[in-house]
Amino acid sequence: MSAIIIITTTETIDEAKQIARGLVEGRLAACVQIVGPITSIYRWEGAVEEAAEVLCLVKTRADLFDQVEAAIQDRHSYDVPEIIAVPVERGSKPYLDWLNQCCTGGSDD
């Protein structure tokens, strides 16, 4: 099992909670940490923008990325939401075992 952390940002805490709850209830993530507000400075449609956002850190398995991406897209208000995965190089065995048990990709196994 290969673990990843998927990073996404949302416009509101309510949207972040909706995405997080859907992922965890759907067994696509073991945990989603919600951090914020944060300040994001980015280029959009030719202009440099600044916005308050909420950061979500999604703990899941690498083989579930496509399902997590689709679930985030379905619930997200942005035209182009940030959805990027960072590999977990190392982690404690008990934590990674727990993550693996929680993330069944929608089945209750």
How far is the first Cα of the chain from the last one, in angstroms, to the nearest whole number? 15
Sign of the Cα pseudo-torsion (100, 102, 103, 105, in order): positive
Q: What is the pLDDT of residues 5-42, one digit of tens each?
A: 999 999 999 999 999 999 999 999 999 999 999 999 99
Q: What percent of the chain has pLDDT over 90?
A: 94
Nearest to 106 by CA among 21, 30, 25, 4: 25
51-80: pLDDT as tens digits: 999 999 999 999 999 999 999 999 999 999
pTM over 0.75: yes
Q: Which helix (H) or strand (E) element contains residue 22? A: helix 13-25
Residue 1: what residue type?
A: M
Q: Are 6 and 84 in contact (CB under 8 A)?
A: yes
Alpha-carbon distance of 102 to 100, in angstroms, equals 5
Annotated domain spans of the chain: 3-102
Specify the CATH number for 3-102; select among 3.40.190.10, 3.40.50.1970, 3.30.70.120, 3.40.640.10. 3.30.70.120
Q: How far is Cα 24 from Cα 7, in angstroms, rounded to an integer?
A: 15
